[in-house]
């Protein structure tokens, strides 16, 4: 007798799940300032003084209500990055980011948190490094929509080179 291969059935299915999120009292202020004035605002904890971005109602560490708004400069330092070689799907649009591209975490000057975004640098390990200084590049006024995509990317500040190079 010859062994017959068993047929296993599996059924494909695509699910489209739309959401609509409220930004809330704190983040709405930051997003409207970003959209209307091209400025970035964070909140400071009255107790530990940490500057928190995105802004939120309670300081997780101190259990107190965050109050004072602080404007951040549009420049900061790259603390970690990757050069992405996968066509990473943007979950907010369903479209892929075209590889290779650089993205990373930037600590805006004076802020305690980091902001992840695209880094407008060549996907070359010699051209991007931890410690690199960057600035925020915004969409032109009038084209901004009030979400994080109003930041196009970070771009490296001119006249700097990789340490040790």
Partner 1 sequence: MKRNVAIVGGGQTYHRARRHDVDQAEMVNEAVRAALKDAGMTMDEMDMVVLGNMEFFEGTHMTDCWLVHATGAYGRQGLKITTGGTVGATVVCAGAHLVASGLCDRVLCIGFEKQEEGDTGAILSGVANPLWGRSMAGAAVGYFAMMGSSYMAAWGAKEEHSAMVAVKARQNARKNKYAHLKLDITVEDVLNSRMLAWPIRMLDMCPASNGACAVILADDKTAKDRCRKPVWIRAMETAHNEQFELDWRDVKTKRPIFSKVCAGRIYGKLGVSDPKTYFDVFEIYEPATWAELVWYEDLGLCGPGEGFRLIEEGKTNIDGPIPVNPSGGVLSTNCIGASAMLRVWEAALQIRGDAGGHQVPKEVRRALTTAYGGTNWTVMIALSGALDD
Question: Three-state SS for 10?
Answer: coil
Choose the stretch contacting partner 1; rule: CB under 8 A; options: 46-54, 63-71, 136-144, 153-161: 46-54
Please pick, from the candidates 57, 64, 80, 145, the single residue that binds partner 1 as defined by CB under 8 A: 80
Q: Using CA atoms, how far apart are residues 42 and 21, in angstroms rounded to an integer?
A: 20
**What residues does 82 pair with on adjacent strands?**
103
Q: Using CA atoms, how far apart are residues 112 and 51, in angstroms rounded to an integer?
A: 5
Please pick, from the candidates 34, 40, 43, 53, the single residue that binds partner 1 as defined by CB under 8 A: 53
DSSP secondary structure code for residue 89 in this structure:
B
The answer to the question of residue 125 lying near partner 1 (CB under 8 A) is yes
Q: Which residue has the tokens 């909140």?
A: 43
Q: Rule CB under 8 A: which residues touch partner 1?
A: 6, 8, 10, 13, 15, 19, 21, 23, 27, 31, 50, 52-54, 60-61, 79-86, 88-93, 97, 103-105, 112-118, 125, 129-131, 147-149
């Amino acid at each position: 007798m010859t062994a017959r291969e068993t047929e296993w059935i599996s059924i494909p299915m695509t699910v489209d799940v739309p959401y609509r999120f409220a930004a809330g009292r704190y983040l709405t202020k930051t997003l409207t300032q970003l959209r209307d004035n091209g400025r970035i605002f964070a909140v400071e904890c009255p107790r530990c003084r940490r500057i928190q971005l995105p802004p939120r109602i309670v300081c997780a560490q101190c259990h107190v209500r965050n109050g004072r708004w602080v404007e951040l400069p549009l420049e900061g330092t790259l603390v970690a990055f990757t050069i992405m070689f996968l066509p990473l799907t943007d979950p907010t649009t369903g479209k892929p980011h075209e590889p290779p591209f650089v993205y990373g975490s930037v600590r805006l000057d004076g802020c305690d948190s980091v902001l992840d975004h695209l880094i407008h640098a060549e996907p070359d390990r010699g051209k991007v490094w931890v410690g690199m200084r960057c600035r925020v590049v915004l969409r032109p006024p009038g084209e901004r929509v009030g979400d994080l995509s109003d930041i196009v990317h970070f771009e490296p500040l001119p006249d700097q080179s990789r340490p040790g190079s």
